Structure 1
Amino acid sequence: MQIGVGLDRGLGLSWDEYRDLGRYAARLGYDSVWTNASNGRDAMHVCAQWSVATADVVPGGIGTGVSVIPVGYWSPASLASAAATVGEISGGRFVLGLGAGALQDRAFRHSLGLDDRLRPIATMREWLTTVRGLLAGETVDHEGRAITLHGVDLGAPPPRVPVALGALGPNMLTLAGEAADAAALNWCTPEQVSASRDTVAAGARTAGRDPSEVAMIEYVRICVDDDVDVARRAYVRALMGYALARPGVNKTLGYRGHFGRMGFDDALNDLEDRRDRGASESELVDAFPEDLARLVGYFGPASGARAAFRRLAEGLDVAIVRVVAARPEPPSITAVMEACRPD
């Protein structure tokens, strides 16, 4: 199993801090350094900076990746071009993660001017087909609901750039097995990792692929502090940002559906009811059940982080220590990196 470290774009890092923390990850022995993506600061530029900076520590630099880019913000050709560029800069040590984002949400589609008929599975199938083809050096002709390309290529093919699919539910996991180089999981119990691998493997076999060709990647959230309550509150705030459904949203879809399938439904329904009656974020953090929070990540003293991370990473090919900073200061970031450093 490879071990990476994930630095959330919400940490508010400067470019110098990005580079310094990348070098620090390399010195600690991490195999790769990752970031998430959305509109705003370009995640692939962050990865390129890491690749160059970590080459100061490890010949050629350590691996880097984005998990994941919501596709609605890009065109396939521009995304493939950017990924190919980072692939060249990194010497083939870059992984591109693609995700549907909130494509199931009509408001999200409307905000980006996307076709209201688009649906996540069909859309991501088109993205995987076209982007992987472009990155493989093919000339792509494709006419679909989400993507239309006629005779598009990148010129010279880049070094191999694996494409991971952000996948939570069974249909997206099946698609990852059928058409991606990896499945990028998030917020999973070990049992969910195992079940997800089985679903991905079944999808691969259906498509005539060897399941071993499809890697399993996941962010594992870790927050450390000697003050356990400080760590708990920071961690639970991060968790609730994914787990709680907005009013009026279908709770069987997206992250809310994912947490429901893992047995969080009753607790989340209660929290959502409290929120809708006017409870503050602080009150919701206090009410979040600790036993459920610990099923998908770790918060507490640094001394317990490594064992918890290893338990949660069981069954993965690439396990990424996703840093949750207990306090808004660099030592909270490096404390997590040090606590979970590879053996």
Structure 2
Amino acid sequence: MKRIILFGIVGVFSLGLSAQSDFSDVFAAGVEDAERFSNDYFGPMSEAAIYSMANGWYNSADSKPLGGFEISLVGNITGFKNKEDKKAFLFDEANYTNLQLVGGNDARTDTQLVSSALGDIEGVRVFVEDPNGVLDPQEFTLPSGLASEGLNFVPSAFLQASVGLVKGLEVKARFLPSINFDDDVEFGLFGAGLQYDFTKILPGDKILPVALSAVIGYTNLNASYDFTDQGLLPGENQRIETTFNTWTFAAVASTKLPIINFYGGLGYITGNSETDILGTYSAGVGPFQETVTDPFSLRREVSGVTANMGTKLKLGFFRLNVDYNIAEFNTLTAGINFGLR
């Protein structure tokens, strides 16, 4: 359970290293090969996490009046079950200096599909050969991914508050307080957004059956994971520090009925992740082993058009909403809300 929490909230690279012990073997090929493999292996998981955190900014186009507010617990589940292109990547020996594939049945091959951190391909063997031929080749298995453990989604969750200001304008904030797990994992999330309801400036807006709004939202997640005591790799002060930033822009429409309403939006999401592998590590094989400090950083950028449809049930102060967002990674969002007006 802890690994799932680490994955969903703390940061995708934390889970990758803690759950996939085979990953540490990649450092035997040297820093350059480890960095290249890490980019391909972890990249799709970063993309899914960015899409997950960017959702959940609205549940209606009808902005709140002055002093109206809503406090929500929002959860997102971003699926990748059918994303075969994100669950695997082509391993090509030509792109690596030392890492080579082990051929099956005495056959040699220089390319093969291997699992990303989302995937389920198992049993791919590789080896690192001593360039001077003194030592026997070091052979090991490449790590598989989340799908091999029965997980086909990336979750995220946070608290969110919305307050109505001047006519048609609503401000939003989302946050997850800084939390520390077992003195080795720490993370926190914050975000801010604006919603403007254009129908509020129209004559007779109170009798219009629909509302039209524009929404903009920014989300930031910072996390760190100290895995020195895990003993995955020889070295000291080993930790991961990762930052996710996402922007959401959307045009939203909704009905304005007393109890049950429907809403939908067309938008654009852009975001990036930057992960620093910090500390000292032993990389390489035998006498060619070297100790490196802060070996590399990984960066991923994504952007794309999104569209969603949802419904909201309002029973006095208590509200429920659920919607489905279609994008590069599809996301199911649900919210429990308490509000006034």
TM-score by length of 2: 0.24
Higher strand share: 2
TM-score by length of 1: 0.23
Looking at both structures, which has the greater relative contact order when contacts are Cα pairs under 8 Å and sequence separation is at least 6? 2
